Amino acid sequence: MEVEFAGTKHKVRKLEADAFTGVDVAFFSAGATRSRAFVPVARKAGAVVVDNSSAYRMDPQVPLVVPEVNGDLLGAKPGLIANPNCSAAILAVALAPLHRIAGLESVVVATYQSASGAGAKAMAELDQQVRDFAAGKELRAEVFPHVLAFNLFSHNSPVGKSGYNEEEQKIAEETRKIFSLPKLRMVPTCVRVPVPRAHSEAVVATFAKPIPLADAKRVLGKAPGIRVVDETEKNLFPMPSLASGELEVLVGRIREVEGDPHAIAFFISGDQLLKGAAWNAVQIVEELVKRGGLPASI
């Protein structure tokens, strides 16, 4: 089988133990089961692995990396690097510059997660529901537990005894690991919304030091991986339609929290298929090359 990409045809073969012979870098994005089965095989063959599944994210021996935040971990030239949960990666990019100047202490975040976070079938289901609505037909849900078109609902992952669902637990645990803050207070609420692509998040972050609004806007405006969209006069702020297809995380609605000089509120949008997944993985490899962990010919 062959697939064409950027004008070049590439041969696709079945994933087997010998598939990694001569491979320098292996990107894994086929789910935790496949990663657990084949990442050790790839490592044994000498490949550096960037894994986009949840299989190794919380392994204390495996760095969980967002290059703008903790790319220094790649200086140790690890052979296996975990790519974070999409919402956690987007959130971390926005929190990092503020954390550096004031010291992060707690985060309350509500996510607005698009259909594409659940895959191509979920996007197709949303599209069909919109078409059926326009045609006056009954709306049906098969991929999601509820109809997503013209609706929203709590993220479709199991809720644990703590009252938090799996997606919320991932965001909390992974954010703590990315920032090396195991006691960071996190209150995430994850919601599916009828948007095809790009996740958004409403954030209230509290810091150890007071953080003046002018300082927050200044550091966010200069931070790598961020584009500030905060045009109050035009009522123009981050939106999924602006973030879709973009490599940067859009940050706006930057404002003070009344009565708390240690807190800042803001709103972000980011393409979870790019910064939340594929682009972050590519950045990891680029950072490894820069730090001598991979040959420059990669």
Residues near 291 by beta carbon (within 8 Å), at least 6 away in sequence: 74, 75, 77
Other CB atoms within a 10 A radius of the CB of residue 286 amount to: 15
Strands 104-113 and 185-192: parallel
Q: What is the pTM of this model?
A: 0.94
Tokens of 106: 């707690």
Burial of 233 (0-12, 13-18, 19+ CB in 10 A): exposed
**So what's the pLDDT on residue 292?**
87
Round to whole Å and give the CA distance between 7 and 5: 5
Tens-place pLDDT, residues 124-134:
999 999 999 99
Specify whether the CB–CB gap between 269 and 249 falls below 8 A.
yes
Burial of 276 (0-12, 13-18, 19+ CB in 10 A): buried
For the annotated catalytic residues, the residue numbers are: 86, 199
Round to whole Å and give the CA distance between 88 and 93: 9
The model's confidence at residue 269, banded by pLDDT at 50, 70 and 90, is very high
Is the dihedral angle over the CA atoms 23, 284, 49, 7 positive or is it negative? negative
Average pLDDT of the chain?
A: 96
In the chain, % of residues over pLDDT 90: 92
Other CB atoms within a 10 A radius of the CB of residue 254 amount to: 19
Tens-place pLDDT, residues 24-43:
999 999 999 999 999 999 99
Tens-place pLDDT, residues 156-193:
999 999 999 999 999 999 999 999 999 999 999 999 99
